[in-house]
Structure 1
Amino acid sequence: MFTGIVEELGRVEHIEPQHEAVRLSVKGPDVTSDARAGDSIAVNGVCLTVVTSKKGVFTADVMLQTLAHTSLGALKVGTRVNLERAVTPATRLGGHIVQGHVDGTGEILARTPSEHWELVKISLPFELNRYLVDKGSITVDGISLTVAEVDAESFTVSLIPETLARTTLGFKQPGDPVNLEVDVIAKYVEKMVKAHD
């Protein structure tokens, strides 16, 4: 489990094709400071399992299905990525409950800068629309964000300078893909309501 509070901007160091997977090597000195094999690290919101960790770089195996259903399939050597270690019982839950299980992908549609923040509009797969509400939570590339506005095919988030400076949303442009994870609580509520219909 994660919180959606990005700890570090990492960088893809190497992508090694394997049979039905790729081995991804990511540089992230902060998140690897105590990482061991078997630990979980979210990469752009996708929960990956550490295979090795040394000298500030960790490796993780990414299955072809994950590459096909998330934006990780578009990664290249040198791409910057959002990194977060899994929470511990002593961790502050600064964002919201994030599983690292991507529900779909969207695309940056527009960026509108303001003096103190920036509005970013992102496309939304139809099947995820029912889980979003104004002022609700969504995870975009592993970043816990508050939905400013939602319509049938997109939603908007307002990014503060700290988020712009410390995450990939500070430089992603229209056309760039992003991973989306809706609030798991909304999914549980939907299931409970359907059970009583």
Structure 2
Amino acid sequence: MFTGLIQQTGSLVRVDYAGGGTRFRIAFEKKWEPSLAFGESMAVQGVCLTVVLTGDNWFECDVLQETLKKTNLSKKTAGSLLNLERALRAGDLLGGHMVSGHIDGTGEVLSVTESGRDKILKVKCSDELMNGMVPKGSICCDGVSLTIAELDTDWFTVHLIPTTWQETSLHLLKPSEPVNIENDMLGKFVLKSMKANATGPGDKPITMETLKNAGFL
């Protein structure tokens, strides 16, 4: 479990391909306290991965082929900047929102614009992803906890304060590039539960639009 608050960024040192698998070595600058340990979870660009080897200023993790297919990790090469967050521990502050590290899919950056000091990121997504979003709801983009500002049929926007923009990999995003998307966990559970209860012969599928029209949103 994660919060979507990036603790530091790391640099992809190398990508190893061996035995039909893929392994990332990621370097970091700030020392982790306590030190990273074998088997612990680390969110890399919002993707929950397992630490399999550690060094003084680096760690390695294996990446499943399925993960490479469904996230933007397949686009990363040596030198790529990566958002990093350790798994939430009992007693830690929950400053963002509950994030599982299980990416729902990728969106496509449409534009990056400015509003005063802030940046506005506009992202296009599939119908499947859009159906799990609500106005002013939480969303995780490349591992960063953000709030949906605007929501249309096939795109949404988020606003980023200067600190979030500068201290994460999001400042490198350009139009047409993919961004990892994880919809709000609680919202997904509610939507799935309500869909499961709509099983009558004349029932229509429940979507976020249905909930909005019914006055729930």
Establish whether TM, by shorter chain, passes 0.5. Answer: yes
Tell me the CA shift for residue 111 of structure 1.
0.9
* Separation in structure 2 between the aligned mates of residue 31 and residue 190 of structure 1, nearest angstrom: 40
Q: Which digits, 9 at most, give the CA deviation of each residue in 1:144-169, with x for residues without a partner?
A: 00000111111100010011111111
Bigger-Rg structure (1/2): 2
Q: 1:41 to 1:31 in 2, by over 3 A?
A: farther
| Partner residue, 1:93 | 94
Q: Give the percent of matched residue pairs that are identical in Structure 1 and Structure 2.
A: 41
Give every structure 1 segment of 4 or more consecutive aligned residues whose post-TM-superposition deviation is greater than 3 Å: 29-33
C-alpha deviations, 1:15-63, integer Å up to 9, x for none?
A: 0012332110001243655111101110000000000111210000001
Q: Secondary structure at the match of 1:36?
A: coil
| Cα distance in structure 1, aligned partners of 2:147 and 2:31 | 25
Question: AA paired with 1:27?
Answer: A
The CA RMSD measured in Å over matched residues stands at 1.2
Whichever residue aligns with residue 120 of structure 1, its letter is L
Aligned residue in 2 for 1:166: 167
CA distance in 2, matches of 1:149, 1:5: 21
Distance verdict in 2 for CA 1:185–1:31, change over 3 Å: farther
Aligned equivalent of 1:28: 28
The answer to whether the aligner puts 1:180 opposite 2:181 as a matched pair is yes
CA distance in 2, matches of 1:53, 1:30: 14
State the secondary structure of the residue aligned to 2:131: helix
Q: How many residues align?
A: 197
State whether structure 2 residue 63 is matched by structure 1 residue 62: yes
The one-letter amino acid paired with 1:54 is: G
Alpha-carbon distance in 2 for matches of 1:31, 1:182: 30
Corresponding residue for 1:110?
A: 111
Residues 1:32 and 1:64: Cα distance change in structure 2 (over 3 Å): farther
- Match of residue 9 from structure 1: 9
Q: Deviations over 1:43-92 (max 9, x none)?
A: 00000000011121000000111111100000100000100000001111
TM-score, length-scaled by structure 2: 0.87
How do 1:127-166 and structure 2 match up within 5 A?
127-166=128-167
CA contact (8 A) 1:108 1:173 kept: yes
Give CA deviations for 1:148-193 in whole Å, capped at 9, x if unaligned. Answer: 0111111100010011111111121112211000011111101221
- Is 1:52–1:60's contact at 8 Å kept on the other side of the alignment? yes
- Relative to the length of structure 1, the TM-score reads 0.96
Equivalent residue, structure 2, for 1:75: 76
Aligned residue for 2:214?
none
* Equivalent residue letter for 2:105: G
Structure 1 unmatched ranges of 5 or more: none
Contact 1:32 1:53 in 2 (8 A): no
Matched, 1:48 2:41: no
**Equivalent-residue separation in structure 1 for 2:147 and 2:110 (angstroms):** 17
d(CA) in 2 for partners of 1:191, 1:157:
25
Q: Could you tell me how far apart the structure 2 residues matched to 1:4 and 1:26 are?
A: 19
Question: Secondary structure of 1:131's partner?
Answer: coil
- Could you say which residue in structure 2 is the equivalent of 1:124? 125
